[in-house]
């Protein structure tokens, strides 16, 4: 079989590489020029007008923002997994995402949307409410720390003043969302263009960079993934409610609902209609099926999902200057200060449990390539969440990577988060 991955920066390339190891023909297209050294020497890279792309080729989109290209290929008769204008809008347009939750009957926290020119009205709203609110801005290349959960109304006012004083030119709109006490979980469902493909799967993660939840938010520093084989209220009242609408749209891809769970139910927060980083590396560790066969079936309306009944844990490992804010990233990418940093010390028996991001071959040596220092994810699998993290840490124990950095407390923190989710689900059910 033939597979072409269309990627923004190469984040999904390990999936493609593994498909190649199964004996399939694979090619990679990276959209952003600053990242095109990623996976050099490991996967052949091509332009989108390549003759490799014919109607027998399965095309995989690993990220949002490329939906128009994916739609165009579908209209041309190509077999495409992931990517669509609908998915782009669902992730990038917060208001549209909230409207889709309403349409599907998913409850969500009360929130108010403001344009960047409505700062005064937003301040009046904060004063009127006089309570904890969550500030969520939208715009290109915004720092992660600008999404802020305030301690009270006055704290929210002071933070929004700061945000607009230093980042007003980048904020296109923003949401003020009611704070809801509870525990956060993401639940994902996959579609093959004709139907939803069960089982669903859950992810819980730590977003802060350092132990004890210190430092900046980085999206994911570690996570736990498991399949849901039972009748589950978190699925039924959350992601399960999108099935009818997405089947009607002939949606082909995965979709994740990030939500808060408490004893009153689940409250939707946002959508991820694409590969999740780091949930896709951790989920695929549970896949009991050839990866190429899995994506071929998904792209041709024959989807099936076979997941092991265990827990998969993921630990992200990086090097400086990671984590770095988006507004500084162009400078780093231009200078490439960590280009060629050696990535050594992984035992042969562990390599298949590691998902790499920003790597390439230099001669016969694996080294860091283009990017900001996100090297990869070490995965462990076990019937017990803490033991799964022990396996992931065993992989990282002897690595020889200058200045490697990762959290060391995930095996304690995330299993406790899992137990709280079970308690919440029990009280809700």
pLDDT band at 328 (very low <50, low <70, confident <90, very high): low
CATH of 110-178, one of 3.30.1490.20, 3.40.50.720, 3.90.245.10, 3.10.129.10: 3.30.1490.20
Q: What's the average model confidence in pLDDT over 25-44?
A: 96
Cα 311 to Cα 283: distance, rounded to the nearest angstrom: 9
β-pair partners for 185: 259
- Enter the CATH code of domain 2-84: 3.40.50.720
At 155-179, the pLDDT tens digits run: 999 999 999 999 888 899 999 999 9
Domain ranges of the chain: 2-84, 110-178, 182-429
The confidence score (pLDDT) of residue 249 equals 93
Please check the confidence at residue 86 and state whether its pLDDT lies above 80.
yes
At 243-273, the pLDDT tens digits run: 999 999 999 999 999 999 998 899 999 999 9
At 284-326, the pLDDT tens digits run: 999 999 999 999 999 999 999 999 999 999 999 999 999 987 6
Q: Return the SS3 of 243.
A: helix
Q: What's the average model confidence in pLDDT over 330-359?
A: 89
What's the CATH fold of domain 182-429?
D-amino Acid Aminotransferase; Chain A, domain 1 (3.30.470)
Choose among 280, 275, 279, 285: nearest CA to 391.
Answer: 285
pLDDT band at 190 (very low <50, low <70, confident <90, very high): very high
The confidence score (pLDDT) of residue 94 equals 85
Please check the confidence at residue 428 and state whether its pLDDT lies above 90.
no
Please check the confidence at residue 141 and state whether its pLDDT lies above 80.
no
The CA–CA distances, whole Å, from 270 to 227, 255, 334, 368 equal 20, 11, 32, 32
Return phi, psi of residue 227, to 5°: -80, 150
- The reported pTM is 0.94
At 67-76, the pLDDT tens digits run: 999 999 999 9
CB burial readout 225-262, b (16+ within 10 A) else e: bbbbeeebbbbebbbbbbbeebeeeebbbbbbbbbbbe
Polymer length in residues for the chain: 429
Please check the confidence at residue 140 and state whether its pLDDT lies above 80.
no
Percent of the chain with pLDDT over 90: 86
């Amino acid at each position: 079989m033939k597979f072409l991955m269309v990627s923004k920066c190469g984040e999904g390339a390990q999936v493609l590489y593994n498909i190649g190891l199964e004996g399939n023909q694979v090619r990679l297209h990276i959209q952003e020029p600053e990242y095109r050294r990623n996976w050099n020497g490991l996967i052949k890279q091509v332009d989108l007008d390549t003759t490799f792309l014919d109607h027998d080729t399965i095309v995989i989109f690993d990220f949002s923002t490329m939906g128009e290209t994916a739609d165009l290929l579908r209209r041309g008769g190509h077999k495409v997994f992931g990517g669509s204008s609908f998915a782009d809008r669902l992730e990038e347009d917060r208001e549209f995402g909230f409207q889709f939750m309403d349409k599907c009957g998913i409850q969500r926290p009360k929130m108010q949307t403001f344009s960047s020119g409505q700062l005064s009205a937003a301040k009046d709203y904060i004063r009127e409410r006089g309570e904890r609110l969550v500030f969520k801005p939208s715009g290109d290349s915004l720092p992660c720390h600008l999404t802020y959960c305030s301690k009270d109304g006055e704290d929210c006012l002071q933070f929004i003043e700061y945000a607009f004083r230093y980042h007003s030119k980048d904020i296109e709109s923003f949401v003020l969302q009611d704070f809801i006490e509870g525990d956060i979980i993401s639940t994902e469902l996959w579609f093959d263009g004709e139907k939803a493909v069960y089982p669903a799967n859950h992810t819980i993660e730590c977003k802060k960079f350092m132990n004890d939840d210190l430092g900046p938010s980085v999206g994911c520093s570690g996570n736990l993934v498991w399949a849901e084989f039972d009748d589950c209220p978190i699925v039924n009242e959350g992601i399960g409610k999108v099935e009818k609408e997405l089947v009607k749209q002939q949606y082909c891809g995965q979709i994740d609902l990030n939500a808060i769970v408490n004893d009153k139910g689940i409250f939707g927060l946002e959508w991820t209609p694409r590969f999740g980083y780091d949930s896709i590396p951790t989920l695929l560790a549970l896949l009991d099926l050839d990866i190429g066969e899995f994506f071929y079936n998904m792209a041709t309306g024959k989807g099936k999902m076979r997941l092991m009944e265990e827990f998969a844990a993921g630990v992200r490992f990086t090097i400086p200057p990671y984590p770095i804010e988006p507004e500084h990233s162009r400078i780093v990418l231009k200078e490439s200060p960590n280009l060629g940093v050696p990535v050594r010390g992984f035992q042969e028996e562990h390599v298949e449990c590691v998902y790499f991001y920003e790597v390439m071959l230099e001669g016969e040596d694996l080294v860091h390539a283009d990017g900001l220092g996100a090297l990869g994810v070490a995965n462990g699998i076990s019937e017990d969440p803490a033991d799964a993290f022990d396996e992931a840490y065993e992989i990282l124990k002897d690595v020889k990577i200058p200045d490697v950095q990762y959290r060391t407390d995930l095996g304690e923190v995330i299993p406790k988060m899992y137990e709280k989710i079970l308690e919440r689900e029990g009280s809700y059910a």
